[in-house]
Amino acid sequence: MRLDYGHLPTPQPWLLAHDYPTILRALDDSLPPGVEVRRGALAEGLVRTGDRVTGVRCDGTAVTAALVVAADGVSSRLRREAGLTAPRSDYPHRLAAFELAGTVPPDFSAYVTDGGLRLRYPLPGGRVRLYVQVAADELRGLGPDGLRAWSGRVLRGCPGLDPVAEAFRAGVADRQVLPVSRALAPALTVPGLALVGESGHLVHPMAAQGMNSSIADAHTLAAMLRQGGSLQADVVDHALRRYDTARRHDLHHVGRTSHTPPG
């Protein structure tokens, strides 16, 4: 699977990687003055008028809305209350995440080895994140000698990691092991409500498309609503049906690309 950034219609075809809080701040900064942000407010459930979602219960108060966007993550309370599902399939492997310090060349590369995925990408501040696919119990109980031997096997099995070998060995004891799943909701909408991001879908990080696909959800939803030109209930619900059709088609492709290793 080759990601050729030379095809991007820009003078300098870059891949930009940022920390999650930085991306959220950038999105916050782009909001128009009329948007009210309530940090730390819990959406406890949905408000309905007949069969249509018309708001949320938030900290004991009903907040009405022409459209509710459920972007509340993998365990979405709003998705569950809306009667939608997103059946999740867990992969048998895990991803061990390492943050590499020191002088490490910036690069975005994904390798498929006999031991599975090795994915490295740069982050601000000269940091590099490395994901190593591992079996569920592969690292459990390993002491310093075991980790040293394990890191040596990882490096021998993936010569592409040679530029980060020293930093990997130095940081191998400091790791986070993450479960990996895939999911796609059979429907992304009900009247008055849309699922966006991980409330509606999960993908394997092989192609690094998790946040990209979530932002594309929001962009597509906004485009469909803008084309409708009104927030009347029937117009919104027509836009939601079009959003569901468009995004599920694209998300099937994203999920397939992220799931299937390059041959």
Measured between alpha carbons, how far is residue 54 from residues 35, 192, 236 in Å? 18, 6, 12
Identify whether residues 118 and 243 lie together within a single domain.
no
Here the CATH number for the domain that contains residue 146 is: 3.30.9.10
Mark whether 122 and 138 lie in a shared domain: yes
**pTM: predicted TM-score of the whole model, two decimal places:** 0.86
Angle at which helix 210-228 crosses helix 233-259, to 10 degrees, equals 160
CATH number of the domain where residue 244 is located: 3.50.50.60
Sheet (strand 201-202) strand order: 109-113, 116-123, 127-135, 88-100, 176-184, 201-202
Asked whether residue 234 is assigned to any structural domain, the reply reads: yes
Region 216-226 average pLDDT:
97
* Dihedral of alpha carbons 145, 206, 128, 123, sign: negative
Domain membership of residue 6 (yes or no) is no
Clarify whether residues 102 and 165 are in a common domain. Answer: yes
Q: Domain containing 101: what range?
A: 90-180
Q: What are phi and psi of 207, to 5 degrees?
A: -100, 10
For 236: left if phi > 0, alpha if psi spans -120 to 50, otherwise beta; the answer is alpha
Question: Measured between alpha carbons, how far is 76 from 40 in angstroms, rounded to an integer?
Answer: 16
Q: Is 39 among the domain residues?
A: no
Structure tokens at 182: 């895939």
Q: For residue range 134-189, what is the model confidence (pLDDT) as tens digits? A: 999 999 999 999 999 999 999 999 999 999 999 999 989 999 999 999 999 999 99
Domain count for the chain, please give it: 2
How far lies 260's CA from each of 93, 134, 148, 253, in Å? Answer: 14, 17, 31, 11
Is there a domain that residue 216 lies in? Answer: yes
Give the tens place of pLDDT for each residue, 233-246: 999 999 999 999 99
The pLDDT mean for the chain works out to: 90
Whole-number pLDDT of residue 239:
98
* Residue that finishes a domain, picked among 148, 180, 212: 180
